[in-house]
Chain A
Amino acid sequence: MAAPATTEGLETRQEANARVLALTGRLDTPAAAQLWPKVMAEAAGGPAVLDVAGLTALDTTGATLLLAAEGAGKDNTIRGASPQVKAVLDRVRDALAAPRPKPEPRLPILARIGMATWNLGGAMLGGVAFLGELTVTLLLSLLRPARLRFREILRHLDEAGTRAFPLTILLGFLLGVILAFQSAIPLRRFGAEIFVPNLVGISLMRELGPLMAGVILAGRTGSAYAAELGTMSVNEEVAALRIMGIDPMALLVLPRVLAGMLVMPVLSLLLTLAGLAGMAMIMGVLGFPLSTVTTQLASMVTLSDLLGGLLKAAIFGLAIAGIGCHAGLGAGRGPRAVGDAATTAVVGGIVSIILLDGIFAVAYERLGL
């Protein structure tokens, strides 16, 4: 290099047999960020001397730059450090010399598949064990009803039930409106609009009522159970209960699961009724009087349709509340664990009710219901 090149804080010149990088002024974090690429490029070239006699201040980021530059080329050296600069340099040199973490050994693909399968099996076994424990607790509580915590159950009935009423009614009504409107269009081509109540009534009572109520419960309550119990287990409250000889199953899980089971038929019924009201409104718009709609409905749907739907809803409630509580109690550590538990609760709840719905469809078909 012929003439010395200067940027703010850095001057480069050639001496006898080495390049000299003279650093001046404050080498603090902003300055280091600016000079980093240039200094590293210069230092990588070959023997370089980092002259720090002109530094007025050096922070640990600046020191990291100097040490990285020193290590970037063979025979690179640092010279001219004042006592303060040397103190910071030595401290950071020690810090960087400390052993670094070894990279995690990566398992071969077969072992990873095996581990994933093993974990999945363990999780499924855990679910079955939870269900068994819940059943035992439920039976024991039925033998001694005095031990059931009615105040707790009432509180959960309120939170999962009455507070969900407005949402349920709104959703049900809109669902009825949409179903009636959409099915009226193709039926009109055959002059069969009169059968809209039959169609909407059957699908609401047997399928959509329980399913949509289940989605509401999973979103509102299943996630809340998982978050609440998850926070409790992260804070070791669940462990504290166990140590005090209080069964968390009986105190925390049972009231929630019972509330879920009791509340679901109500929500399902409410959603169905609201849906029928919405359908009746559309029929009114299309010119059918209310009496025609009710007659049509009564001719088509039977009590067993309604009861079958409500039974299904109760089982959905059990599944959603149980999965929510299981996800919460199984939460890991850290702030993410609670979020993960809530996600598991909602996803697991919705998937489980659709699976159960399939099973119910086959069972009702076989039983001729």
Chain B
Amino acid sequence: MTEPSTAEPVILAEGVSAGFDDRVLFRDVTFDVRRGEVFVILGGSGCGKSTLLKLMIGLVPPRAGRITILDTEVWATEGRARLELLRRIGVMWQQGALFGSQTLLENVEMPLAEHTGLPPAARTEVARAKLGLVGLSEAANRLPSEVSGGMLKRAGIARALALDPPILFLDEPSAGLDPITSAGLDELIRDLSRSLGTTFVVVTHELASILAIGDRCIMLDREAKGMIAQGDPRELRDHSTHPTVRAFFRREAA
């Protein structure tokens, strides 16, 4: 794998603003995500980090600015080109968003059946491999309601991996998990990033997680209505002079 800091950008956000009705969430956010890195979007509750994620995957339109993923501008493409782009990204939703009436294996098989010409037996084999990648081989035939929260998130990652997208978006992977399960998930993210070279964009406010997985990060702030820091999370923890950034990393009330 190439060194993240010198790798080419796969996502470019230029002067992006977002908000609802007359409320501005953030203004003029600019950053890039480079191939193969684990990029973390962090910030306190209500700063708009989940909205930024939805903006990048094309669910919510930006008020201003441009987002380019793999040389395709997200909000300027339609029809086939957009579908093509969506096939090259995977999303793990905060609650897993698995289909409750299907087993974990069937959940992972669904995008394969929809978007590839794999023969049925091969499809099952590939879906088993994806579940194996996230350590869920034995739970393949269980329903989402029958597995724990940590397993749900792993299954969510397996489904997001179904079409082997070069970029994976994870929304709050550690939310609602105990520290041990959460650390296991961090381990998995690092492992997949290392062995498959997948680029990860992770939205989180879990401090331990940020420091464990993040190659680079940006921090959004609700008060400042924008980005207040960018860089290596360990650098930010040790050297940032911004009071909110310092408070965040030291777990102090700002």
Chain B residues, CB < 8 A from A336: 100-101
Within 8 A of B (CB), among A21-54: 28-30, 32-34, 36-37, 40
In the complex, the answer to whether B141 meets A95 with C-beta atoms within 8 Å is no
Which of A65, A84, A96, A334 contacts B122 (CB under 8 A)?
A65
In the complex, the answer to whether A61 meets B195 with C-beta atoms within 8 Å is no
In the complex, the answer to whether B137 meets A98 with C-beta atoms within 8 Å is yes
In the complex, the answer to whether B132 meets A98 with C-beta atoms within 8 Å is yes
Q: Give the bracket for the number of chain B residues in contact with chain A.
A: 35 or more
Chain B residues, CB < 8 A from A30: 116-117
Interface string of A73-112 (1 = CB under 8 A from B): 0000000000010011011101111111100100000000
Instruction: Name the CB-closest residue of B to A332.
Output: B145
Which of B116, B135, B140, B191 contacts A29 (CB under 8 A)?
B116
In the complex, the answer to whether A61 meets B119 with C-beta atoms within 8 Å is no
Instruction: Name the CB-closest residue of B to A336.
Output: B101
**Consensus secondary structure, chain A interface:** helix
Which of B101, B116, B129, B194 contacts A95 (CB under 8 A)?
B129
In the complex, the answer to whether A60 meets B133 with C-beta atoms within 8 Å is yes
Interface string of B174-214 (1 = CB under 8 A from A): 00000000000000000100111100000000000000000
Q: Within 8 Å of chain A (Cβ to Cβ): is B8?
A: no
- Number of residues from A at the complex interface, CB < 8 A: 37
How many residue pairs link A and B with beta carbons under 8 A? The number is: 97
In the complex, the answer to whether A29 meets B163 with C-beta atoms within 8 Å is yes
Bound-state CA distance A87–B118 (Å) is 24
User: With A61-B164, A63-B129, A88-B195 in contact, is A334–B145 under 8 Å at CB?
Assistant: yes
Bound-state CA distance A276–B1 (Å) is 83
Chain A residues, CB < 8 A from B1: 84
In the complex, the answer to whether A84 meets B119 with C-beta atoms within 8 Å is no
Chain A residues, CB < 8 A from B173: none
Instruction: Name the CB-closest residue of B to A64.
Output: B129
Instruction: Name the CB-closest residue of B to A83.
Output: B1
Among A64, A88, A100: residue with most chain B CB under 10 A: A64
Which of B118, B129, B137 contacts A36 (CB under 8 A)?
B118
Bound-state CA distance A94–B195 (Å) is 12
B68 to chain A, nearest CB (A): 22
In the complex, the answer to whether B130 meets A60 with C-beta atoms within 8 Å is yes
B99 to chain A, nearest CB (A): 8
A76 to chain B, nearest CB (A): 16
A249 to chain B, nearest CB (A): 26
B86 to chain A, nearest CB (A): 14
In the complex, the answer to whether A60 meets B140 with C-beta atoms within 8 Å is no
A12 to chain B, nearest CB (A): 19
In the complex, the answer to whether B164 meets A92 with C-beta atoms within 8 Å is no
Give me the interface of A with B, judged by CB distance under 8 Å.
28-30, 32-34, 36-37, 40, 59-61, 63-65, 67-68, 84, 87-88, 90-92, 94-101, 104, 332-336
